[in-house]
A and B are shown apart, each in its own frame.
Chain A
Amino acid sequence: MHNNGREVLQGNGTALIYFTLVFLFFFAGCSADSPKAFAQETSVFTDTGEETALQDEYDEWIDDLEEEESVPYVRDPLERFNRGIFAFNDFFYFKFLKPVARGYGFITPEPVRVRVKNFFYNIGFPVRFVNDILQVKFKRAGQGTCRFVFNSTVGILGFFNPAQKYPWLNPPPEDTGQTLGTWGVGNGFYIVLPILGPSTLRDSVGLAGDYLLQPVSYIKPFYISLGARSYEVVNKTSLSIGEYEDLKESALDPYTAFKDAYIQYRENAIQE
């Protein structure tokens, strides 16, 4: 039986293998060439002077694509008010937060600041865990728990981030606003919060939920809790100086640019 099988392979099989190889090349060529074929067809049309017609068709096709995009339109009935808060936040950033973060960054080495950031991210575990459960993402809840345990022990209270090396230990973080989003709650309308920045009605409610889930919120007395949160913000800002400036500099209308970026960013986070 065994020999027989081998014979088939060596005898008749040879032709068969050649046949298969020809087949293989044929299909390989086809799959690699399909976009090329499409492009050639297009250029043939262009050459015959039907450029405008083709261009229009193409443009309409792009317009269709735009409508397919999943990012929702968010109303902004408070625009005048929001623009006022946006200007205040801009002032606050340049005159207060940035100088403080710079000064802090000057006296604190970057590795230390990265570790502080790790620590704060690690103790925010309850926010992510509860929202994973509420979104029925049990696998991520498990991964997040493993990450918390691993970084709290091996990573010494979360100051180090040994979990970084393992992609499966780093599920995208969930928060209450995203949970409401996956439950089908719409954005409502756009709000710019003082100091906290861009948000929507839904995400503002979400922020209240996150506050209740943050261990730092339960530190007594109240001013130490507030101090810890402020320190977290200053530390984080010291690591991302220039990002706000860059987006603002690249925009023609910074208010609209930040609004759109926020809405796209949140939509992407909900989809993840």
Chain B
Amino acid sequence: MKRQPIIILLILFFAIPVSASTPADGALDFVRTSVDAVLTILRDPACKEESTREVQRQKLRTTVETLFDYDEISRRVLGRERKSFTPEQMDEFSDLFTRLLEKVYLNRIQEYSDEKVVYGKATMLSENKAEVETNVVTASKQIQINYRVVYKYGEWRGYDVFIEGVSLVRNYRTQFNKILQKKSPEDLLQQLREKVNKKEAPTKKAALLKWKCITTGGKSCRETAQL
């Protein structure tokens, strides 16, 4: 019977890792909070109208900025090649690449309708990195989206996203390395500038006006020019 307190002590001792909030839980909480914040903005009925789209976009941009560390992503996306970049080029690259990601992905998530996000488990990859599994469930399919997050300067930040096992960072890195094999960092920056500043695909209204301009000419041609 003397052993009983020791056994209790042992049980409590082994129960600690389970009961305490582990770093992995912190990572999961961080991703959940950030993604839920994005979903709240997307579900906000006030943002559903075409006129408030830009406001919604601005809100999304701020929220997504807390989720992802764009500087870290930019560094990783260049990999070894960043050594051939001057600090000024690096800054511009970081800025352009952030704008590219925002342009592509904010457009995409703004088309969000009724998808559900299911949070899976979080695993530590090293002492300060974790992977958080999530599933986006739509009417016709499930998409696995995993977030890689790192704990730096007292907070978690995302540094990569894996969509169906495909790393976003690695995918861009392969492309940039390919371009930099033959071209200079300045050429890559120029390509990025063009891509970021490219006008959005013409809307239905613009296409209709253009068609009217071709067939009838006159007033609709002036309107097309304004668009």
Interface residues of B in 142-196 (CB under 8 A from A): 151-154, 164-167, 170-172, 174-176, 178-179, 191-192, 195
B108 is an interface residue with CB less than 8 A from chain A = yes
* Residue A196 CB within 8 A of the other chain: no
Q: Cβ of B216 < 8 Å from any Cβ of A?
A: no
A35 and B20 in contact, given A63-B80, A239-B140, A264-B167 (Cβ under 8 angstroms)? no
**Which listed residue (B1, B22, B140) contacts A31, Cβ 8 A?**
B22
- For A113, the closest partner residue in chain B by CB is B140
Q: A1-B1, A23-B13, A36-B154 are contacts. A265–B23 as well, Cβ < 8 Å?
A: no
Find A260's partner among B19, B82, B174 (CB 8 Å cutoff). B174
State whether the Cβ of A50 lies closer than 8 Å to any Cβ in chain B.
Answer: no
The total of interchain contacts (Cβ-Cβ below 8 angstroms) comes to 130
Closest-CB distance, A238 to chain B (whole angstroms): 10
- Please determine whether B140 and A20 come into contact, CB atoms closer than 8 angstroms: no
Give B118 Cβ to nearest chain A Cβ, in Å: 11
> Quick check: which of B3-11, B47-55, B206-214 contacts chain A, the rest being far away?
B3-11
On chain B, the residues within 8 Å of A16 by CB distance are 5, 8-9
Within A216-272, the residues touching B (CB, 8 Å) are: 239-240, 246, 249-253, 256-257, 259-261, 264-265, 267-269
Would A269 and B165 be within 8 Å (CB), given that A34-B127, A42-B152, A252-B179 are in contact? yes
Contact of B151 among A39, A66, A246 (CB under 8 A): A39
Q: Which of B12, B20, B164, B192 contacts A20 (CB 8 A)?
A: B12
Contacts of B174 in A (CB 8 A): 256-257, 259-260
A24 within 8 A of B: yes
Q: Are B9 and A252 in contact (CB under 8 A)?
A: no
Contact A251 B151 (CB under 8 A): no
Q: Which of B102-142 touch A at CB < 8 Å?
A: 104-105, 108, 127-128, 139-141
Query: Taking A20-B8, A69-B170 as contacts, is the C-beta distance between A8 and B104 under 8 angstroms?
Result: no
Contacts of A24 in B (CB 8 A): 12, 16, 19-20
User: When the two chains form their complex, are residues B175 and A256 in contact, meaning their CB atoms are under 8 A apart?
Assistant: yes
Q: How far is the CA of A24 from the CA of B5 in the complex (A)?
A: 15
- A257-B175 contact, Cβ under 8 Å, with A28-B20, A38-B127: yes
**Candidates B5, B22, B104, B154; contact of A39 at CB < 8 Å:** B154
Contact assessment for B5 and A12 in the assembled complex, using a CB-CB cutoff below 8 Å: yes
Q: Which residue in chain A gives the minimum CB-CB distance to B155?
A: A39
* Contact (Cβ within 8 A) B140 A114: yes
Residues of A within 8 A of B152 (CB): 39, 42
A27 interface residue, CB < 8 Å from B? yes
- Least CB distance from A16 to B in Å reads 5
Q: Which of B5, B151, B165 contacts A264 (CB 8 A)?
A: B165
What 0/1 pattern do residues 1 to 38 of B give for CB contact below 8 A with A?
Answer: 11011001100110011011111001000000000000
Interchain CB contact under 8 A, A8 and B5: yes
In the bound complex, do residue A31 and residue B170 qualify as a contact, i.e. CB atoms below 8 Å apart? no
Smallest CB separation, A23 vs chain B (Å): 7
Q: Judging by beta carbons under 8 Å apart, are A40 and B154 in contact?
A: yes
- Within 8 Å CB of B175, what residues of A? 251-253, 256-257, 260
- Chain A hits for B20, CB < 8 A: 24, 27-28, 31-32
A positions within 8 Å CB-CB of B: 1, 4-5, 8-9, 12-13, 16-17, 20, 23-24, 27-28, 31-32, 34-36, 38-40, 42-43, 59, 62-63, 66, 69, 71, 110-111, 113-114, 117, 239-240, 246, 249-253, 256-257, 259-261, 264-265, 267-269
Q: A8-B4, A20-B8 are in contact. List 12 more A-B contacts (CB 8 A).
A: A23-B12, A28-B20, A31-B22, A32-B22, A35-B128, A42-B153, A66-B79, A71-B170, A239-B141, A253-B175, A256-B174, A267-B165
23 of the cross-chain contacts (CB-CB < 8 Å) are A9-B4, A9-B8, A17-B8, A20-B12, A20-B13, A28-B19, A31-B20, A31-B22, A34-B23, A35-B128, A36-B151, A36-B154, A39-B152, A59-B82, A71-B170, A252-B172, A256-B174, A257-B174, A260-B170, A260-B175, A264-B171, A265-B165, A269-B165
